[in-house]
Structure 1
Amino acid sequence: MEFDPDARIDHGAPLSPYRQLAGILAARIDRGDWQPNRAIPSESQLVQEYGLARATVRRAIAVLVDEDTLFVVPQRGTFVKSKDE
């Protein structure tokens, strides 16, 4: 499914908010908003930007970690994984 990197969360859509957010974040990475080995915004910033609960944001990040798009460094943040790793 293709996501618009500038989309907002549609709470009435059949796709769950965490899946929508994961798609939006992946689209923003593909667009080049965040470079490989650079941090994405913090959970708190994403909560504010998208109006979601922290648990929803964490679940979206977990999806992207499982898909090998992001990686987490404890006490440092969540980073974009390099495509050639």
Structure 2
Amino acid sequence: MAAREIDPRAPEPPYRQIAADLTAEIARGDLAPGSPLPSEKELTERYGVARNTARSALGVLREAGLVYTVPGRGTYVTDRPEGVV
């Protein structure tokens, strides 16, 4: 899936723009329950951001209950994402 371009001048910080993009992918079913999300490294390449920015975006999704992380294995879409209709 092609990433939307991050606008560094937008009022919304880049990590929130990435989180919104990934949330939309989950809502559309592009990232189905149990599917792995791109790694932090893949997100940095996909969006042209720093690793901490990618990490923050994944943190937003975790806090929203959309994904969970297994240390050393990756981040996955939850079986029943709370924030997605």
Could you say which TM-score interval applies, normalised by the shorter chain? Answer: 0.7 to 0.9
> What is the aligned partner in structure 1 of residue 21 from structure 2?
24
Aligned ranges 1:6-85 → 2 under 5 Å: 6-83=3-80
Q: CA deviation at 1:82?
A: 1.2
Give the total of aligned pairs: 81
Runs of 4 or more, structure 1, over 6 Å off, are none
Q: CA deviation at 1:69?
A: 0.3
* Deviation per residue, 1:37-85 (Å, 9 max, x gap): 1201111111000000000000010010000001000111000011178
Q: If the length of structure 1 is used for normalisation, what is the TM-score?
A: 0.87
- RMSD between superposed Cα atoms in Å: 1.7
Q: If the length of structure 2 is used for normalisation, what is the TM-score?
A: 0.87
